[in-house]
Amino acid sequence: MSVLRTGVSFAAPLDSPFQEAPAPWLNKILKGDCVSALEKLPSRSVDLVFADPPYNLQLGGDLHRPDQSKVDACDDHWDQFESFEAYDAFTRAWLLAVRRVMKPDGSLYVIGSYHNIFRVGAILQDLGFWIMNDIVWLKSNPMPNFRGKRFTNAHETMIWAVKSKDAKPTFNYDALKVFNEDLQMRSDWHLPLCTGAERLKDGKGQKVHPTQKPESLLYRVLTASSKPGDIVLDPFFGTGTTGAVAKKLGRNFVGVEREQAYIEAAEARIEAIVSGDAEALEMHQGKRAQKRIPFGTLLEAGLLTPGAKLTSANGKHLAVVRADGSLKSGAHTGSIHKVGALVQGQEACNGWTFWHIEDGARKAPIDDLRKEIRSRLQA
Amino acid sequence: MSVLRTGVSFAAPLDSPFQEAPAPWLNKILKGDCVSALEKLPSRSVDLVFADPPYNLQLGGDLHRPDQSKVDACDDHWDQFESFEAYDAFTRAWLLAVRRVMKPDGSLYVIGSYHNIFRVGAILQDLGFWIMNDIVWLKSNPMPNFRGKRFTNAHETMIWAVKSKDAKPTFNYDALKVFNEDLQMRSDWHLPLCTGAERLKDGKGQKVHPTQKPESLLYRVLTASSKPGDIVLDPFFGTGTTGAVAKKLGRNFVGVEREQAYIEAAEARIEAIVSGDAEALEMHQGKRAQKRIPFGTLLEAGLLTPGAKLTSANGKHLAVVRADGSLKSGAHTGSIHKVGALVQGQEACNGWTFWHIEDGARKAPIDDLRKEIRSRLQA
DNA sequence: ACGATCGGTGAATCGCTTC
DNA sequence: TGAAGCGATTCACCGATCG
């Protein structure tokens, strides 16, 4: 029996002599509209997409006829309906272009407000995307509602989606949990607006971009759904918040932007960023990402001997360790997991945390022995 | 200041000798599906609609907690739809029926989750409704994500819409501001789930309805968008939270419900309500004590950078900050609290006061940085 | 009586690897 | 490609029970 199985193999490092030259679009801003610019990227090439599309409903360009929905109540809203149609066509087009360049297990985040996010979400579903979460960005300092006619609009909505129901996206659960002081990261993110020194200003002190997103928002998106070295696409790059955070966090980026002024501001901004070093960028990993230690290893290593007695935490169940790494408890025999399930009459059981050994006066889960093995292997 | 404005005149009181007999459907539950049941109501007759339609959850197999107990999922037949198209047709039908019975300046609230709310919102817009706000109900005690595969789904979304762009809906701005300690009511509502004594149970102690909404949520909706004496419609009445709160607050209600069991539970519940004791109903609102600031926030905010070095006050221990908000000190990694405990060999540790940064000549606890964040969030 | 502990539960689209 | 095995995974709140 091999004591350790090798983990998942890593992709070749970027400086590997066997790797092709980096793509010409990597860590660059492509000028143009996102549908045509994305044609320069190969299919299935990006790991993560962050999109902050416009929600200006007065788009020019193609106007499509209303569909066959017979809603006579809407007759007096013809113009408005036409606008929604145009917005929907625009949304379908860029989402399809993005979909092509996403890796099969890649993630897509789209942010918007109530003006556009419902249409975006419905179209995502219609195109076959699978929604993982919707996330609300709660602004600590939103603009008040001056006329007192509505609730203060204090949040924006972000949709996290993948290409299909079967996709297995990156989700750095353990890292996020540590980030959040050992509690699961929730779907509500409390973050301030982008103001102060972070807000890009031109020579006259005017803000360069009307809706610059805070780096804290992108920091959390990239920490959650990408790994160092991944490629992050932003099809509405603006002044480059996505690229700036990607560089800080050791990710590669691709941006698409139409306005030359934004491109220049973004390039200067990203140029000034210093990447974190590899050790600092390492993500906290839980058990899931660690090498598997078969129970028999504990016997091989001498941490347990055949005949050792294990008990459940409450002392109700007793089992004996056999030389082949199986347990025997009464008439039940099998793996630590199977016997743990059988003695409890349950369908499943994690034997590592269920079974305990006497460690002096108190009981300790056999998972502690596994930790001991792991620390020996690292030494 | 009076809590509720009386600027707009009330409808004639119910006991006026000049008024016709009250409509037979007033303060009653109509049995049936909402489209056909609503045919019994005249056009333009209700002031406020609260709708909690099926969410179309599309659940897979069983889900178990880490302790192997089974999650009691919402798998009722009424939540099952064959396709998005079927759900959309259902949504259009009930929204059109509701639209007919709404007064021109009436308000509609629809609540949902990411499974359905985007489709509902897009259809609302397609039908000519005008969205006033989207509101997020942030749950203080949501169900965790047991598998660690997504963000904890800690909110639901509510859309407030009116029949047209020109509508002038009731909005009790001043009352809401008083309730909210003289701050404008925001679009994020922090409310607990409906549990404990408020949750309706059957004779066996089982919950009567899988998705009973908290009265606090309806309390706020009715307080915001209706006046005493108004008529409030709930086309998916369930166990009658809307009717119960309407009666407490002196509003009239109409309910539509298909399931006899829910109707009977709702009738008994509403019967037991005493009107007018609105003050007795405690509102869960106002700012909560102090918002928790996860350590990772300091990185997002740029107050610390990945690779920063932290020390204990006595300088004996050293740790490095990683990009995901975890610390690394020798072989120990984890949250600021966990690593603080590990390096000291203790069971617990408050990382905020244990770890320090060099601030010029002297050391400062990282709690000082948290104070800085708090002051930014309040600004 | 009062605090500590334990058990239950909430609209949930909730595995991965090997054979 | 399907079946089986391994073994990872939870937060806030409420009410009952225990000491």
Owner of token pair 């660059």: A28
- DSSP label at A21? P
Contacts (Cβ under 8 Å, ≥6 apart) of B2: none
Per-range mean pLDDT, top range of A115-129, A340-354, B213-227: A115-129
Q: What is the pLDDT of residues A222-242, one digit of tens each?
A: 999 999 999 999 999 999 999
The answer to whether residue B17 scores a pLDDT higher than 60 is: no
H-run or E-run covering B378:
helix B367-378
Contacts (Cβ under 8 Å, ≥6 apart) of A312: A340, A343, A354, A355, A356
Q: What is the pLDDT of residues A64-91, one digit of tens each?
A: 443 444 433 333 333 344 689 999 999 9
Q: Please tell me the predicted confidence (pLDDT) of residue A14.
A: 43
Mark yes or no for CB contact B171/A150 under 8 Å: yes
- Print burial letters for A194-220: b (CB count within 10 Å at least 16), e (below 16): beeebebeeeeeeebbeebbbbbbbbb
Give the residue on B whose Cα is nearest the Cα of A344.
Answer: B68
DSSP output for A272-340: T--PPPHHHHPPP--GGGSPP--THHHHHTTSS-TT-EEEETTS--EEEE-TTS-EEETTEEE-HHHHH
Contacts (Cβ under 8 Å, ≥6 apart) of B52: B110, B111, B211, B213, B234, B236, B238
Mark yes or no for CB contact A150/B133 under 8 Å: yes
B366 close to B310: Cβ distance less than 8 angstroms: yes
Give the separation between CA A275 and CA A266, rounded to whole angstroms: 16
H-run or E-run covering A95:
helix A78-101
Least confident of A31-35, A47-51, A369-373, B141-145: A369-373
The answer to whether residue A363 scores a pLDDT higher than 90 is: no
The answer to whether residue B269 scores a pLDDT higher than 80 is: yes
Q: Please tell me the predicted confidence (pLDDT) of residue A378.
A: 73
Q: Please tell me the predicted confidence (pLDDT) of residue B276.
A: 66
Query: Amino acid identity of B313?
Result: A
Per-range mean pLDDT, top range of A60-74, A135-149, B115-129: B115-129
Q: Please tell me the predicted confidence (pLDDT) of residue B300.
A: 81
The more confidently predicted of residues A379 and A95 is: A95
Mean pLDDT of chain B: 89
Least confident of A149-163, B156-170, B335-349: B335-349
A326 close to A298: Cβ distance less than 8 angstroms: no
The answer to whether residue B146 scores a pLDDT higher than 50 is: yes
Q: Does B63 contact strand C, using a CB cutoff of 7 Å?
A: yes
Question: Among residues of chain A, what percentage have pLDDT more than 90?
Answer: 73
Angle A75-A80-A85 from CA coordinates, rounded to 5°: 100
Mean pLDDT throughout B141-166?
98
- Chain A residues with CB under 8 Å of B376 CB are 140, 192
Q: Does B154 contact strand C, using a CB cutoff of 7 Å?
A: no
Least confident of A53-67, A251-265, B63-77, B357-371: A53-67
Q: Which residues in window 253-282 of B are less than 7 A from strand C by Cβ?
A: none
The β-bridge relationship of strands B332-334 and A327-329 is: unpaired
Q: Please tell me the predicted confidence (pLDDT) of residue B293.
A: 82
Least confident of A36-45, A272-281, B37-46: A272-281
A233 close to A42: Cβ distance less than 8 angstroms: no
Q: pLDDT class for B4, splitting at 50, 70, 90?
A: very low
Least confident of A255-264, B145-154, B207-216, B326-335: B326-335
Among B255, B246, B238, which Cα is nearest to B38's?
B255
The more confidently predicted of residues A67 and B264 is: B264
Q: Please tell me the predicted confidence (pLDDT) of residue B377.
A: 66
Give the separation between CA A308 and CA A323, rounded to whole angstroms: 10
The more confidently predicted of residues B143 and A344 is: B143
The answer to whether residue A1 scores a pLDDT higher than 90 is: no
Mark yes or no for CB contact B122/A118 under 8 Å: yes
* Burial class of residue B378, CB neighbours in 10 A (0-12, 13-18, 19+): exposed
Q: pLDDT class for B149, splitting at 50, 70, 90?
A: very high
Mean pLDDT throughout B112-128?
98
The more confidently predicted of residues B274 and A158 is: A158
Q: What is the pLDDT of residues A285-320, one digit of tens each?
A: 888 888 999 999 999 999 999 999 999 988 889 999
Mean pLDDT throughout B181-192?
89
The answer to whether residue B364 scores a pLDDT higher than 60 is: yes
The answer to whether residue A119 scores a pLDDT higher than 90 is: yes
Q: Please tell me the predicted confidence (pLDDT) of residue A285.
A: 86
B254 close to B25: Cβ distance less than 8 angstroms: yes
What count of CB pairs under 8 Å joins A to B? 249
Nucleotide nearest to B66 (CA to C1'): D9
Q: What is the pLDDT of residues B44-78, one digit of tens each?
A: 999 999 999 999 999 989 999 999 999 999 999 99
A339 close to A351: Cβ distance less than 8 angstroms: yes
Mean pLDDT throughout B373-378?
71
- Sign of the C-alpha dihedral, residues B360, B362, B363, B367? negative
Q: Please tell me the predicted confidence (pLDDT) of residue A63.
A: 40
Give the separation between CA A178 and CA A183, rounded to whole angstroms: 7
The answer to whether residue B185 scores a pLDDT higher than 50 is: yes
The more confidently predicted of residues B272 and A69 is: B272
Give the separation between CA A293 and CA A296, rounded to whole angstroms: 8
Q: pLDDT class for A60, splitting at 50, 70, 90?
A: very low
Mean pLDDT throughout B328-353?
90
Q: Which residues in window 8-47 of A are less than 7 A from strand C by Cβ?
A: 8
Interface test with B, best of A92, A136, A181 (most B CBs within 10 A): A181
